[in-house]
Amino acid sequence: MTTTAQPLLTFEQFLQVVPEAGTYELVNGEIVEVEPTRAHKNVARYLMYALNDEKRRLRLDVIVDKDIVIRTVTADGREQGRNPDVSVVNEAVWNSNVLSYGALTEPIQLAVEVVSTNWEDDYVDKLDEYQRLGITEYWIVDYLAIASRAYLGSPKVPTVSVYRYVDGGYQLQKFTNGEQIISPLFRELKITVDELVNASGIQRL
């Protein structure tokens, strides 16, 4: 019995064949379904609403959404299709072609990833791809403190890592516990790490 290897998908092919229902990414040439827990969704939704409220209050020319696929490229040139938990995109970029679907090839202003069990994707792969693309600001929201001590320190506590794109690379600032998260884009935002942990709905004994 022989098996035939399926050809790796390009980003354009991925957009043509990706199922309409559900959330999917293009990873290493294959379609991967992303199915977060309800707690994960709670955190992402809380942040999306909070950022959208700030956008409206300050009349910022951005779009805040949760279903935007962006084209990234790995170090070896492989196309990926990433779908951040929350995306913030410049309105002019978004509205430059309103008849197209949600995928973007330009760098967005802010990408937020809420950490799941496959936390290496957020801390390693997506970090590299988002930096390579030039995404202005990247948040890793580790509300369960599940990454390794190499990233969270010891003892491990819930942490929001904010990466800011400066001079061709990311600069990192970490926030924990009751610290207010500082965002270069949303300069007046008032959200603490504890608020995001509480938004998950997980009750700690």
CATH number, position 59? 3.90.1570.10
22 inside domain: no
Mean pLDDT by 10 residues, the chain (205 residues): 64 90 91 93 97 96 94 95 97 85 88 95 97 98 96 96 96 96 96 96 67
Asked if residue 166 belongs to a domain, the reply is yes
| 163 within a domain of the structure (yes/no) | yes
CB neighbour list of residue 41: distance below 8 Å, 6 or more residues apart: none
Residue 5 placed within a domain: no
| Residue 12, in any domain of the structure | no
Taking CA atoms, 32 is separated from 22, 94, 105, 107, 166, in Å, by 11, 25, 19, 22, 31
Dist. CA 115–CA 135, nearest whole Å: 18
Is 16 within a domain? Answer: no
The distance from CA 203 to its chain's CA centroid, rounded to whole angstroms, is: 25
Domain for residue 117, yes or no?
yes
Whole-number Å distance between alpha carbons of 130 and 71: 10
Flag whether the pTM goes above 0.85.
yes
List the domain range (segments joined by +) for residue 148.
37-199
Into how many domains does the chain fold?
Answer: 1
For the chain, what is the mean pLDDT?
A: 92
Assigned domain for 18 exists: no
